[in-house]
Amino acid sequence: MKLQLLGNMTAREFLRRHWQKRPLLVRAALPGFRGVTDFSRLRALATRDDAESRIVERRGGRWETRHGPFKKASLRKTNATLLVSGVNLHVPAADALLRRFSFIPQARLDDVMVSYATAGGGVGPHVDSYDVFLLQGPGRRRWKVWDLKNKAFQCVMEPGDLLYLPPGWKHDGVALGPCYTYSIGFRAPRGNELAAAFLDWLHERGLPDARYRDPGLAPVRRSAAIPPRMISFCERVLNRIRWNRRDAATFLGEYLSAPKPHVVLSPRPATGSSIRLDPRTQLLYSGSQFFINGEAFVLPQRDVAKMRELADRRELPASRLATQSKLIGEWRRAGYAHLVRRDG
């Protein structure tokens, strides 16, 4: 199915032609888009501990950054920008916007960052290490984008226009007047980040333990030299560390579904008979194994397909998972999921 969001391309065509290859500018990707929040709501989020925010001001050729939470997020009349990350965790319409991009695996979806800029506002030329869609809200912004050979092109984006940028493409957006930009970002964990987290994960599950001993030790002539016997001991201990594909999948599922440190989940009153995952909840699966907010769990085979459907759609009639009412009850008390009306 062709999507106006992607310039009347199918998701498959977009992924083949542009994803991590080259930018795409789509005019009127969301016709009449007026945004999903206003400055008052954005400024209120910037005062909260459970939201990430910053203010960037341009002074001549320099950009100065202050990080929230702010007592009062006030902006200069020109050359200033307020940015709030994770707006999808607080504004249902922003979460719905993020889900428009579910043709990308949820494990890659990160968040919706909303920026409000006064005339001349921006964050300066920069390069992102992840894919990003830049959706223009009310107002206009001029973008300059450099390709991998440092050749530049420019465009002025109007409300509803969408610009996709692959990782590594330098870009600079300057507000032509008061304007909003919605950045839909994607996770791209680095290898060293994953390796460090995986070693911590292994350590929590009990790495091989042994104590070095050296009976029969003889006097040494070079006291600073590391004994070959100690190196061999280290090699034997490290060689005893083992993991398999299931371990890797379990670690990755827990790692990718874990909430960010500042995220707070809380229960809500039941208002209907449909299970809806909280916007802060990440429910992923690999085979018959499931992961919710950093926790792994398995289900009887009869419930696997239905739980996958909940993970994919993020909402399901509660009757479909009646056999897991105890688990759903635990999720509700933890704020992971809520009972809502289908139209709520």
Whole-number percent of the chain with pLDDT over 90: 79
List the one residue out of 174, 182, 163, 187 whose CA is nearest residue 83. 182
d(CA 116, CA 180): 5
Tell me the average pLDDT across 249-256: 95
Tell me the average pLDDT across 165-174: 95
What torsion do the CA atoms of 43, 81, 260, 310 make, to the nearest 10 degrees? 80
pLDDT (tens digit per residue) in 156-169: 999 999 999 999 99
Burial class (CB in 10 A: 0-12, 13-18, 19+), 183: buried
- State how far Cα 252 lies from the chain centre: 14
d(CA 224, CA 142): 62
CB within 8 A of 210, min separation 6: which ones?
A: 233, 236, 237
Indicate whether 344 pLDDT > 60: no
At 14, is the pLDDT very low, low, confident or very high (cuts 50, 70, 90)?
Answer: very high
pLDDT (tens digit per residue) in 272-309: 999 999 999 999 999 999 999 999 999 999 999 999 99
pLDDT (tens digit per residue) in 217-239: 888 888 889 999 999 999 988 88
Tell me the average pLDDT across 168-175: 95
Which pLDDT score, from 0 to 100, does residue 204 have? 85
Under 8 Å between Cβ of 56 and 65: yes
d(CA 265, CA 280): 7
List the one residue out of 330, 329, 334, 310 whose CA is nearest residue 320. 310
Which pLDDT score, from 0 to 100, does residue 45 have? 96
Whether the model clears a pTM of 0.85, i.e. scores above it, the answer is yes
Question: Which position has the higher pLDDT, 239 or 155?
Answer: 155
At 241, is the pLDDT very low, low, confident or very high (cuts 50, 70, 90)?
Answer: confident
Tell me the average pLDDT across 78-103: 96
Which pLDDT score, from 0 to 100, does residue 216 have? 86
Which pLDDT score, from 0 to 100, does residue 343 have? 62
Which pLDDT score, from 0 to 100, does residue 72 have? 86
Which pLDDT score, from 0 to 100, does residue 207 have? 76
List, in order of start, the domains of the chain with CATH numbers.
2-186 (2.60.120.650), 191-214+224-242 (no CATH), 254-340 (3.40.366.30)
pLDDT (tens digit per residue) in 22-79: 999 999 999 989 999 999 999 999 999 999 999 999 988 899 999 999 998 889 899 9
